[in-house]
Amino acid sequence: MTTHLLQREQWLNTSLDEAWAFFSSPKNLDRITPPDLRFRITSEDIDTMYAGQILTYRIKAVPGLWQNWVTEIKHVSDRAAFVDEQRFGPYQFWHHHHRFEARDGGVFMVDRVFYRLPFGPLGNLVHALYVKKKLNWIFDFRYQTLEAMFNQSTAPKSVGQAPRLDLESAV
């Protein structure tokens, strides 16, 4: 069973308060998710994030197939970090740590996602053929969307792909 790590880093030209206000509101998640996934929050309580919060949503992870997903906000450190973990969904294990740090007149943000697919060797094959590319596509979309939202005046003319640190077989 392979646990994978996807890590992304991004500098945002905004204050820590503004970055935290955006990322700590679950209702903003759909703004940074590719429209092709048809992400839909089905939870009622989504105005502010808190430890122990359960979030439910639906995505179209594979064309023609809707997937229900349930996550729990496990930890919140105000204006510094939070962790969401999947309770029900497509992964055997999903742990997403979001970190924010005031730096250089803006905010340095780091996403670290540890994840594992079900079905042992078959899951590893599906990861290599589909899931890894799909996750990179989702996080590239997120990077570009955040560049447009927060770094429009400072972004290079050609944004391209997000800086990546993909570590296989992390655990």
pLDDT in tens, 46-67: 788 999 999 999 998 777 889 9
101: part of which helix (H) or strand (E)? strand 93-103
Q: Let me know how long the chain is.
A: 171
> What are the extents of the domains in the chain?
4-167
Is 154 exposed, middle or buried (CB count within 10 Å of its CB: 0-12, 13-18, 19+)? exposed
Task: Please give the structure tokens belonging to residue 101.
Answer: 């740090």
Compute the distance between CA of residue 32 and CA of residue 139 in angstroms, rounded to an integer: 9
In the predicted model, is pLDDT for residue 44 greater than 90?
A: no
The per-residue pLDDT of the chain, averaged, comes to: 89
Q: How many CB atoms lie within 10 A of CB 171?
A: 11
Could you say which of 3.10.110.10, 1.25.40.10, 3.20.20.70, 3.30.530.20 is the CATH number of the domain covering 4-167?
3.30.530.20
* Predicted confidence (pLDDT) per residue in 74-132, tens digit: 999 999 999 999 999 999 999 999 999 999 999 999 999 999 999 999 999 999 999 99
Is 44 exposed, middle or buried (CB count within 10 Å of its CB: 0-12, 13-18, 19+)? exposed
* pLDDT at residue 156 in the model: 44
In the predicted model, is pLDDT for residue 159 greater than 50?
A: no
